[in-house]
């Protein structure tokens, strides 16, 4: 039993809260308990929202924009100064390889503060001169004000990165936040509170409440009338519940939800690049990336070679502890999620799949056997209407299907309720653009995957979400535009 205690962070202070309830946090590496977290009560969440409201009119609201920008840079520096602690915490919570978290999660977690701090300085405004009947005219000048108290609900797959992806721009725009991290991964969000205090961020600007969704901190936060807008990343079903909660009081929402993303591999692709990219898009983070590929469509002349090469490389992935430099793939997030993924592995067989690779649980050493391990898995031969083709699994698996014509593959890729991302592999740039324009997604990569310029728009079509974040789109969500009309 671990003696690490995770507390809520409200009004600049760590506190156990008033619920008297705690929950265990386990590492999926071996399912052992790594911490005990204090669950926030409805009153604790209300206290966090009130302290966020007070900070809006207090020193944070009064702060000059240059000072706020400096403070956000200091937060990023603070994360980087404690890089190893953040890395350790993120890998403990998620089980992901250190090699991955040290390149993606922690540096991006820090960068999200710097990038949006710099962006706020350069955001343009609008001004219109108009004529009036009396001939003197008027000018209209747009003013952006912070939206207010932002409720941030974040998931477990990239805990620090996806939370700061929202907190960075929200603070840059002058808002205050109450964050409810996933109950699976509360460590780095809590560690960030220490950084906030050490950087002198005023009390109430950044608050953290721990707990679950329904009838717990998540619902208490999203249903609280003092929250002005809600930004959420997680499952589409949860997004629907939160959108309903936000409807009361007409609060704005940003929804970054699930995906069932297609990769499209044309016969004229650079095969090495397509294999390398699909290895990452299907298996990185144990397949737990919303942008990841679970459907791969490969043009018939290269189908057999592609399947054989991908299966060969995926079969070589070393599963192991986060700290082991040889580890290429960690466990799933929890035993519960492992059961969900394995249920899809069984369903694939029932639905008639040919199992090219994996399909079950790996043999792990005795110390790791209690963990949430599954095999990287590849299928072929499923019907286009199979549930395994239609539903998000969120595991290290993909189905590969041959196609012949461009129009055919566009229709196949679009035949899904989700619309988050796609990756197109071809050396023909005209085709790449033509196809990308027709796939119903928010993000289309050509000859790459997860290549992120934080100034670009990010979000999903169809059931993958509502709205866009990233660059000026984040600034639009986290500010309220006001037109000031001045009669001359």
Could you say which DSSP state residue 329 is in? B
Rule CB under 6 A: which of 348-387 touch ligand 6OD? none
In whole angstroms, give the CA distance from residue 63 to residue 46: 25
- Smallest separation, CB 271 to ligand 6OD (Å): 26
List Cβ neighbours of 143 (8 Å cut-off, separation of 6 or more). Answer: 125, 481, 482, 483, 484
Contact pick of 214, 430, 437, 453 for ligand NAD (by CB under 6 A): 214
Can you name the residues that pair with 262 across neighbouring β-strands?
295, 422
State yes or no: residue 443 binds ligand NAD (CB under 6 A): no
DSSP states of 120-176: HHH----EEEE--TTS--EEEEEEEEE--EEEEE--SSSHHHHHHHHHHHHHHTT-E
In whole angstroms, give the CA distance from residue 178 to residue 8: 11
State yes or no: residue 299 binds ligand NAD (CB under 6 A): no
Query: Which of ligand NAD, ligand 6OD, none does residue 258 bind (CB under 5 to 8 Å by kind)?
Result: ligand NAD
Would you say the C-alpha torsion 323, 328, 333, 334 has a positive or negative sign? negative
Convert residues 391-410 into a mask of x (bound to ligand NAD by CB under 6 A) and - (unbound). -x-x----------------
By beta-carbon proximity to ligand NAD, the closer residue of 77 and 235 is 235
Closest CA to 284 of 99, 50, 34, 484: 99
- Smallest separation, CB 116 to ligand 6OD (Å): 11
Contact pick of 107, 168, 465, 470 for ligand NAD (by CB under 6 A): 465
Contact pick of 113, 165, 206, 232 for ligand 6OD (by CB under 6 A): 165
Q: Candidates 173-181, 286-294, 338-346, 395-403 — which segment interacts with ligand 6OD by CB under 6 A?
A: 286-294
Look up 256 and say whether it is catalytic.
Answer: yes
Bridge-based pairing of strands 377-380 and 397-403 is parallel
State yes or no: residue 222 binds ligand NAD (CB under 6 A): yes
Mapped onto helix, strand or coil, the DSSP state of residue 443 is strand
Query: Which of ligand 6OD, ligand NAD, none does residue 452 bind (CB under 5 to 8 Å by kind)?
Result: ligand 6OD
Rule CB under 6 A: which of 141-160 touch ligand NAD? 153-157
Would you say the C-alpha torsion 414, 417, 420, 422 has a positive or negative sign? negative
- Smallest separation, CB 344 to ligand NAD (Å): 13
Contact pick of 27, 51, 154, 157 for ligand 6OD (by CB under 6 A): 157
Per the listing, tokens 């999926």 go with 28
- Asked whether 329 and 283 are in contact (CB, 8 A), the reply is yes
Give the residues lining the site for ligand NAD (CB under 6 A).
153-157, 162, 180, 182-183, 212-214, 218-219, 222, 233-235, 238, 241-242, 256-259, 290, 392, 394, 420, 460, 464-465
Give the residues lining the site for ligand 6OD (CB under 6 A).
157-158, 162, 165, 289-291, 452, 458
């Amino acid at each position: 039993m671990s003696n690490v205690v995770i507390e809520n962070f409200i009004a600049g202070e760590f506190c156990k809260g008033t619920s008297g309830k705690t929950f265990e946090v386990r590492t999926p590496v071996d399912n052992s308990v790594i911490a005990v977290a204090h669950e926030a009560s409805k009153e604790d969440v209300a206290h966090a929202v009130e302290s966020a409201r007070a900070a809006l009119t207090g020193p944070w609201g009064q702060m000059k924009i240059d000072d706020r920008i400096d403070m956000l840079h200091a937060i990023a520096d603070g994360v980087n100064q404690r890089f190893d602690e953040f890395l350790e915490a993120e890998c403990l919570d998620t089980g992901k390889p250190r090699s991955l978290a040290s390149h993606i999660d922690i540096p991006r977690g820090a960068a999200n503060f710097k990038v949006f701090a710099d962006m706020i300085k350069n955001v343009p405004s609008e001004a219109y001169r108009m004529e009036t009947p009396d001939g003197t005219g008027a000018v209209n000048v747009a003013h952006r004000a912070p939206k207010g108290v932002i409720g941030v609900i974040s998931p477990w797959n990239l805990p620090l990165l996806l939370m700061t992806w929202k907190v960075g721009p929200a603070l840059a725009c002058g808002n205050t936040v109450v964050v409810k991290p996933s109950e699976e991964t509360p460590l780095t969000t809590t560690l960030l509170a220490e950084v906030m205090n050490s950087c002198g961020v005023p009390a109430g600007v950044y608050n953290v409440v721990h707990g679950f969704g329904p009838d717990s901190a998540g619902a208490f936060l999203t249903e609280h009338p003092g929250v002005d807008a809600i930004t959420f990343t997680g499952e589409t079903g949860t997004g629907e519940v939160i959108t309903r909660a936000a409807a009361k009081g007409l609060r704005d929402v940003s929804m970054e939800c699930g995906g069932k993303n297609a990769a499209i591999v044309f016969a004229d692709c650079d095969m090495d690049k397509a294999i390398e990219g699909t290895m990452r898009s299907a298996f990185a983070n144990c397949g737990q990336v919303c942008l990841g590929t679970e459907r791969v469509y490969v043009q018939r002349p290269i189908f057999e070679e592609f399947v054989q090469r991908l299966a060969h490389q995926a079969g070589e992935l070393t599963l192991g502890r986060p700290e082991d430099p040889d580890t290429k793939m960690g466990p799933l997030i929890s035993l519960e999620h492992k059961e969900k993924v394995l249920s899809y592995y069984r369903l694939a067989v029932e639905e008639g799949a040919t199992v090219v690779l994996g399909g079950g649980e790996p043999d792990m050493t005795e110390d790791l056997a209690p963990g949430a391990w599954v095999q990287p898995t590849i299928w072929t031969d499923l019907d286009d209407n199979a549930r395994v083709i239609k539903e998000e699994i969120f595991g290290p698996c993909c189905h590969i299907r041959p196609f012949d014509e461009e129009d055919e593959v566009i229709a196949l890729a679009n035949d899904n309720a989700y619309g988050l991302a796609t990756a197109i592999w071809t050396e023909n740039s005209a085709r790449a653009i033509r196809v990308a324009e027709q796939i119903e997604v928010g993000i289309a990569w050509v000859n790459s995957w997860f290549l992120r310029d934080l100034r670009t728009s990010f979000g999903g079509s169809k059931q993958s979400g509502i709205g866009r974040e990233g660059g000026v789109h984040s600034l639009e969500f986290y500010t309220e535009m006001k037109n000031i009309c001045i009669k001359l």
